[in-house]
Amino acid sequence: MNVYDRPKDWVNIIFLGASPVIGIVGTALYTAYAGFEWWMLGLLIVSYLLVGISICGGYHRLFSHRAYEASPLLQSFFAFFGAMAAQNSILWWCSMHRIHHRYVDQEWDPYSIKRGFLWAHIFWIFFRNPDAGSFENSPDLEANPIVRWQHNWTKVILVVGGFGLPALVGWMFGDAIAGLLWGGFLRVVVVHHSTFFVNSLAHTLGEPSYDSEVSARDNWLVALLTLGEGYHSFHHRFASDYRNGIRWYQWDPTKWFIRLLHSMGLTSNLRITPRPVIERARMQASLHVLEGRLATLSHQISEEIERRVDAAREAMDDAALLWRRHLTERASGIGRTWRETRHQSKIRLREARREWKAAMRLLAQFPEMA
């Protein structure tokens, strides 16, 4: 069946169609009439951060991918404020997201970019999905009492917390309608479409830095809008890593938030992909582009580049193997041998980078032939 032939979800269509009108136009008109005060912008920012971090750090990295473990208190925080995002329950959201990762860009991908930008961004929510509601891929979440509770009370939390709470804050400042508009409807629109950009824009524009065979892209603008979710090529390649931006300069406040809570004992078992594995993936992604350019170069030049690439690949494989060995040795408590093994892994990793950079410098000398 063509996806556009599926039964329409009129509740979603009406809500997602009306909320931008109320949130953007309604807020602008009412503010022009009643006047602007700084608490309104503050309410929008605070509510956006509370809800946004609950989607990024909770729904996505914790519940969908089990990238770390969290205390019941933190899980409850994510469950409450995540429901205020109007993106359905943890169970529903994570089930759809796990299907997306399993079948990315394929027929079963619920928000596949192959069906177009608008489908991936929002249209997929307008049609009923026959796979929604089975939760066969989420037995771990069904066994979680906090997730089950939130699934049963999501709509109540959305109405009372997502709209009633900001109206109450507005009432305390003397304008309940302004609170409802700024902290309720406008905040929902901002959270919705920043989240939706991960499915659309981050599968369209950017660099496939870690996996050139799927549509996911690293996009700094999406990262800026979504508290760090825009480094999507890395995420699709290493979904169980609690980070999205792995460089110190990459905007990923969700990563910093999780790390901060770790120092407070609220998160644990933060899953991190070993550096040699990350570097090998980035190299493999680049090779797809490199192989096409080599065919345009002279035999002597292409042979030298291939030699250096092979040397880099061999060193990278050794580094990854040594890293895994050091983890095994460390876990088994074999003296201090794991330290030497880790040191050797770092040496081989540096050698791989040196050979790779040499190959890239040589290739850069012939831009006109690329």
Domain boundary residue, one of 221, 236, 268: 268
Confidence category of residue 284, pLDDT binned at 50, 70, 90: confident
Cβ neighbors of 235 (< 8 A, separation 6 or more) are 216, 229, 241, 244
pLDDT for residue 346? 85
pLDDT in tens, 150-171: 999 999 999 999 999 999 999 9
Higher pLDDT, 20 or 347: 20
pLDDT for residue 187? 98
pLDDT for residue 368? 47
Are 244 and 176 in a shared domain?
yes
Domain boundary residue, one of 268, 283, 311: 268
The pTM for the full model equals 0.88
b/e for 21-54, b at 16 or more Cβ within 10 A? ebbeebbeebbeeeeeeebbeebbeebbebbbbb
pLDDT in tens, 80-118: 999 999 999 999 999 999 999 999 999 999 999 999 999
Are 117 and 179 in a shared domain?
yes
Are 133 and 280 in a shared domain?
no
Confidence category of residue 360, pLDDT binned at 50, 70, 90: confident
Domain boundary residue, one of 249, 268, 287: 268
Q: How many CB atoms lie within 10 A of CB 274?
A: 17
**What DSSP assignment string belongs to 211-223?**
-TTSS--B-HHHH
Are 44 and 167 in a shared domain?
yes
pLDDT for residue 279? 86
Least confident of 200-214, 242-256, 292-306: 292-306
Residues 123-149, mean pLDDT to the nearest whole number: 92
pLDDT in tens, 175-231: 999 999 999 999 999 999 999 999 999 999 999 999 988 999 999 999 999 999 999
Are 200 and 302 in a shared domain?
no
The contacts found for 217-222 with CB under 8 angstroms, 24 or more apart, are 220/250, 220/251, 222/197, 222/198
pLDDT over 70 (residue 369): no
Are 138 and 253 in a shared domain?
yes
The domain in which residue 178 lies consists of 3-268
Confidence category of residue 243, pLDDT binned at 50, 70, 90: very high
Are 216 and 334 in a shared domain?
no
pLDDT over 60 (residue 367): no
Residues 267-285, mean pLDDT to the nearest whole number: 89
Residues 23-34, mean pLDDT to the nearest whole number: 97
Are 41 and 151 in a shared domain?
yes
Are 263 and 280 in a shared domain?
no
8 Å CB contact between 251 and 220: yes
Both tokens of residue 208? 């496939």
Are 161 and 292 in a shared domain?
no
Confidence category of residue 30, pLDDT binned at 50, 70, 90: very high
How many domains does one find in the chain? 2
Cβ neighbors of 178 (< 8 A, separation 6 or more) are 30, 31, 34, 37, 40, 170
Are 262 and 359 in a shared domain?
no
Are 156 and 294 in a shared domain?
no
Both tokens of residue 1? 């069946």
